[in-house]
């Protein structure tokens, strides 16, 4: 019988159940004949795909602070159950089932944080709202923006951290790859976009 995850109401799925859960996602081959593209455009496309992979990893950090450590743990388990867990994690972009009301499907995983990893773990809505209310209007506007996370300082106080700081490494790498793509393409509109 499947084990029960700490703090979860439902049992943790076994290998067969995980495979059945992920089978609900039907793989679809999406392709394009890139052989007709000039070499410059193929080079640009490769760089754009590499940048997208960087941003995919960044997304995992945004979903939950524990995503990266859990992913490395899953990658280290070559057992059939471990591979089923890894596949389910990758399909769902985290340890919660997208088709089962965000139920955790791995042992030891908490309920999906309502605020994802945009706010500090353990911060209450009331605490964040009080902190926001106490900010001057310009700071409050910046903190409530779409490209800001809220973190705790070493002294435990809340502070706004722009994405450009929070995700500096990933954004710098993605930007570098997109600049390389822009340099490779001969299409003026794509070059300007990138």
Cα dist from 119 to 113, 130, 148, 161, whole Å:
9, 14, 10, 10
User: Does position 58 have pLDDT exceeding 80, yes or no?
Assistant: yes
Which stretch of 35-49, 72-86, 108-122 has the lowest confidence by average pLDDT? 108-122
* 79-98 residue pLDDT tens: 999 999 999 999 999 999 99
Residue 31 near residue 97 (C-beta atoms within 8 A): no
d(CA 45, CA 30): 15
Instruction: Name the token pair of 171.
Output: 């954004």
| Consecutive H or E run containing 159 | strand 158-162
Arithmetic mean of pLDDT over the chain: 93
Residue 136 region by backbone torsions, left for phi larger than 0, else alpha for psi between -120 and 50, else beta: beta
SS3 for 149?
strand
Q: Are strands 96-97 and 148-152 parallel, antiparallel or unpaired?
A: unpaired
């Amino acid at each position: 019988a499947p084990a029960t995850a700490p703090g979860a109401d439902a049992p943790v799925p076994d290998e067969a159940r995980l495979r059945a859960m992920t089978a609900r996602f039907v793989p679809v081959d999406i392709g394009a004949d890139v052989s007709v593209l000039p070499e410059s455009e193929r080079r640009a496309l490769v760089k754009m795909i590499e940048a997208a992979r960087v941003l995919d990893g960044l997304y995992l950090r945004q979903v939950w602070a524990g995503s990266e450590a859990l992913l490395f743990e899953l990658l280290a388990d070559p057992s059939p159950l471990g591979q089923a867990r890894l596949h389910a994690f990758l399909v769902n972009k985290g340890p919660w089932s997208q088709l089962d009301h965000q139920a955790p499907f791995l042992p030891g995983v908490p309920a999906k944080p309502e605020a994802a990893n945009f706010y500090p773990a353990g911060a209450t809505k009331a605490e964040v709202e009080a902190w926001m209310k106490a900010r001057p209007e310009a700071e409050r506007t910046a903190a409530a923006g779409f490209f800001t996370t809220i973190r705790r300082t070493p002294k435990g106080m809340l502070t706004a951290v722009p994405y450009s700081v929070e995700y500096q490494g990933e954004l710098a790498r993605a930007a570098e790859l997109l600049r390389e793509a822009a340099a490779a393409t001969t299409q003026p509109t794509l070059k300007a976009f990138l």
